[in-house]
Structures are given as C-alpha cells and as structure tokens.
Structure 1
C-alpha cells in the first residue's frame, strides 16, 4: 500500500481540498481491478488534493490529468502534493462544471472521480460536463480510415473477478458519502441526458453514453 503525504485545506469555499472516504475505498477497488487502468488515458474530475491521481500514478504509472474548479489555489495545492510525493506535476484542466470545457476534443478513455456528489445544486452542471466528455470523445492515435462516430474502442477487462467488455469512453465514480438519498437525482439526471449508469460493486458506478443497438 502506498503511503502518501497530502496537504489539505482547513477551509475552502467549495470543500475541494479535503480527503473524503470514497478516495480510500476507490484506491483499494482500483488496485483490485487494475486492468481497467492499463494503457488508459485518464482524467480525474473533482481532483481536490490530487491524492487519488497521485496514488494511481505511483502505483500503476498511469497517464493521468487532473481537473477541478477554476481556481488557482486548488491547482497549486495539487502541484504541491505531487512534489511532496515525488511525482511529476500532472497536466491540469481548470474547469467549472457546466461551463464550456476548455478542451474541444476530449481524448480521455477513462474519466474517474470519488465523492463528488455533495452539492445537489451542481448535479445538472456536472451532468452537462460529463455528457460533453463522453459524447465528444476522440480516441487518440485514431487511424486515418476510422471516421467520426466509430472512435469508441472495446476492450475486455476484469472487474471483481468477472470479465466484461468495456466500450470507451466511460466514467467510473466511487460514492461513499450519504446525504439522504439525493444522489439518486444525479443518476436519474444522467439517464435523462442519454447516459447509462450501472453499479459495478463496492459503491462504484460506471457511466457511459447510451449507444444505439
């Protein structure tokens, strides 16, 4: 198990820089299901302290980009924690959910997050950002004969001991906190936005674009 040194904010207006329970649980779950991370280009939403991204980089050497609210203090703290743990500072995307995403052609195969459903009022904005990232995905190094709309990539991975066919891109989220059931509004909002949600164990959820059958 990795031992990390992480600096948190004692106070931040968006509670962005604290370690929540889902981070620890997600680290353990990903360690048990590391085939999901192999050779993947990863984006973490709501990175906060950067602890999850740092753990993944140190444990699996994964290519990962962090992202959080458009705030210099948040980005600087992630960079501080990278250096404290002898990790090269990650590429970072400042983005406030719901606003125009600064990368017009997202190429992240896998998007991850942990415990980001605290603010119910932000659910529509989060869903808007997720919809953009998942529905506008352009696979890196796509062959010239491949055309837009066929850039999704299928790969066989092992999840909790069971082999599943995963079609990229996907969003994996660990949610450990309880706020009275309001999180169900997030999942129903995803379905209304054309996204498919699936619980894949240990309170980890897989969200992907709805595809024509």
Structure 2
C-alpha cells in the first residue's frame, strides 16, 4: 500500500495534447453534439494517430497520463520493465479508453486484447477506428462493466492506466480483478498517475482480497496473489 507521501493531487488533463489535426461535430436526435479531434501523440518516441472525444460518461474519451508511464515502464531502457515479459503472453488492457497503449504494445509484438465499460458501442468503435488510423488490424475487444461477472479468461497479464478515477466502484473493480488474477503466476500491472487520497481504499481492498503490491517506480504498481 502506498505511503501518505505518495498521494498527490489529480493531474490536470488540460494542455497535455497538441492542437488537433481536425475537429468534427456530430449531432444526434437528442440535440447533443459530440465533438472529437484526431491528433498525433508520441508514445515512447513513436508518433501515433488517436481520435479523442470531447465527452464520455465514463471518461473513456481521452488518453490518460498513466498511459505514458506504463508505456515507458515497458519500453524505456531506463526502467526496470521489459517488453519481453509481455511477449508470448496473453495480455488484457483493462480500461483501454482510446486503445493507445494497446496499439503501442502491439507494435512491439505483444498480443493484447482491449477491454472497457459496456456502453452503446462508442468505446469499441473508437478503439477500432484508432487501430485503423495506425494501420493495424483490429484485435478482439471485450465490453465489460466491473463486478458483473467475467465471461472470458486465460490472460497472463492485466495492464491498466489511471483506472482509479471512480472511487465508488472500487469493490466492483477488485471483484473483477480477483476473477482475472486467479493464479499466483498471473500479474496485474497498473500505472497510477492520476492520484487521489480516496484511492487508498483500492489498495486496502486489494490487500484484503489476497494480493500483494510492489511499487515498481514512476507511478507503476505490480499486484500478484499472495503465495
């Protein structure tokens, strides 16, 4: 569990992205106008195209800062992570949002399946769109709401970036992680950049659920079942 000194204020998203390449406004029958922009964002020295929506009820519309922490953990020579730890393994990205992290890992030869909240298809469609933008074939996507019972399995590593935004559903998140991480050799690797004092509860619930936590540096945490 993190120390008090590890807790800081939430990171502001404003100003994290360059000017958009294009901006589109779409209308629907309710009168709501959805806006999105397609941008070039560099992830570990590789420029990628990503479409981000101006609004989504579960904040699956943006690239979160933790995406870069986790990518750098696995891809930078200055960190303890090793991309080879993910190769030849089945990886699930929980809370994929725009799919940017999955895209970057797949470019390095990792097998990744994306997963996010079960909405009316907007998250899935946007992830597939971003795969197309970056000239990658589509990968399977799982629509799943935490705590509702997992229907797929066999994953060796679960990765996630900044998924602790909604404090009210920590119990549901831990429920899902306990379903996914059901063997000691499986791993959950999480970047926790957008920090809140309330997020301590998640670490406590994970400990109560039989997990041990290791801080790997640069806001990246590893969870495994106690042995």
* TM-score of Structure 1 vs Structure 2, range by shorter chain: 0.7 to 0.9
Of the three residues 122, 131, 134, the one matched with 2:181 is: 134
Asked if residue 83 in structure 1 is aligned to residue 132 in structure 2, the reply is yes
Of the three residues 98, 103, 116, the one matched with 1:49 is: 98
- State the Cα distance separating 1:185 from its structure 2 match: 0.7
- Which runs of structure 1 show a deviation greater than 3 angstroms over 4 or more consecutive aligned residues? none
For residues 75 and 123 of structure 2, the distance between their equivalents in structure 1, rounded to whole angstroms, comes to: 26
**TM-score under structure 2 length normalisation:** 0.75
Gaps of 5+ in 1: 138-166
State whether residues 110 and 168 of structure 1, in contact with CA within 8 Å, keep that contact through their aligned partners in structure 2: no
State whether residues 87 and 109 of structure 2, in contact with CA within 8 Å, keep that contact through their aligned partners in structure 1: no
Gaps of 5+ in 2: 1-44
Instruction: Show CA shifts across 1:188-210 (max 9, x none).
Output: 10011111111111111101112
- State the Cα distance separating 1:37 from its structure 2 match: 1.6
Aligned to 1:22: 66
For residues 178 and 133 of structure 1, the distance between their equivalents in structure 2, rounded to whole angstroms, comes to: 24
**TM-score under structure 1 length normalisation:** 0.80
SS in 2 for 1:7: strand
Aligned to 1:175: 192
Q: Which has the higher strand share?
A: 2
Aligned to 1:204: 220
Give the aligned length.
177
State whether residues 92 and 157 of structure 2, in contact with CA within 8 Å, keep that contact through their aligned partners in structure 1: yes
For residues 117 and 42 of structure 1, the distance between their equivalents in structure 2, rounded to whole angstroms, comes to: 20
Of the three residues 4, 7, 12, the one matched with 2:56 is: 12
Of the three residues 30, 51, 61, the one matched with 2:109 is: 61
